[in-house]
Amino acid sequence: MELEKYVEGRVRSVIDKHEIKGKIAVALSGGKDSAVCFYILDKFGLEVVPFHINLGIEGYSKECYEKSLALCKKLGYELEVVEGMKVNSCSMCGTVKRYIMNKFAYERGCDYLATGHNLSDLITFAFNNLASVNILNFRGMKPLLEGKPEYKMVAKIRPLYYLKDEECRAYANIKRIPYAEGKCPLARQAPTVKIKEWLHELEREKPGILLNFLKSFSKIEDKMRKEGKPNICKVCGYPAYHDVCKFCKLKSRKKN
């Protein structure tokens, strides 16, 4: 009971602080985090539109779809499935997912796109970017990323922003939320997997350190708020940081 209240309270604080209302597209990966995210937003009585992207990853995508579907059935929703581009690496997958998630939410006229990114994910992402001096990626380390309608960019919300991996997993288990246990075969080699293990070890030794990291990392962004304005992709008209968006570049590379 304690944990349930804690988890829901953390989500509540994000929703209330940012006054989230209206239609929310919820990206279901089949994993525990987005499942918990969806479950709690529904529990709060918010208007949610669940969807899943089929990434065609052998030995993985099928289970993800089935678990997403099972959760939607349990909560009385239809699941929309969007066919993604067939991906063969982790970084490619990230580009494809981000693109399709935004496009889906935009086309459905949603006010927000909600993802299952949690505290552990965000800090792992931050360390990984730090290691490769990807400073611009420190934009977007907040629970809410405002939308820019003129760029067809939907606002993004991360309801699990203050929650660690194990808290999300425990919540999913208590509530008997169906989720895929497997790890993506493409991600097994990714450095982020190791970084995350290391961060969790550190957190066990120094409880609270992840939250402190998050506080510091999210300040980097404020310092460069004014820079890095997005463009519109010349090919598809969705947001891009260059003339042509990363997704369209991938697509044309695949054709050639």
Site residues for Zn ion per CB under 5 A: 233, 235-236, 245, 248
- Write out the DSSP string of 233-256: -TTT-SEESSSS-HHHHHHHHHH-
Nearest to 139 by CA among 223, 37, 66, 232: 223
116 binds, among Zn ion, ligand AMP, none (CB under 5 to 8 A by kind): ligand AMP
| C-beta closer to ligand AMP: residue 52 or 246 | 52
**106 touches 154 (CB < 8 A):** yes
55 binds, among ligand AMP, Zn ion, none (CB under 5 to 8 A by kind): ligand AMP
**Binding of ligand AMP at residue 29 (CB under 6 A)?**
yes
| C-beta closer to Zn ion: residue 90 or 235 | 235
Taking the C-alpha atoms of residue 36 and residue 4, their distance in angstroms, rounded to an integer, is 11
What is the CB neighbour count within 10 angstroms for residue 66?
A: 14
The residue range among 72-80, 114-122, 148-156, 246-254 that interacts with ligand AMP, by the rule CB under 6 A, is 114-122
Q: Which of 67, 103, 117, 142 binds ligand AMP (CB under 6 A)?
A: 117
User: Among all chains, which residue has been given the structure tokens 């991906």?
Assistant: 87
The residue range among 8-16, 23-31, 171-179, 241-249 that interacts with ligand AMP, by the rule CB under 6 A, is 23-31
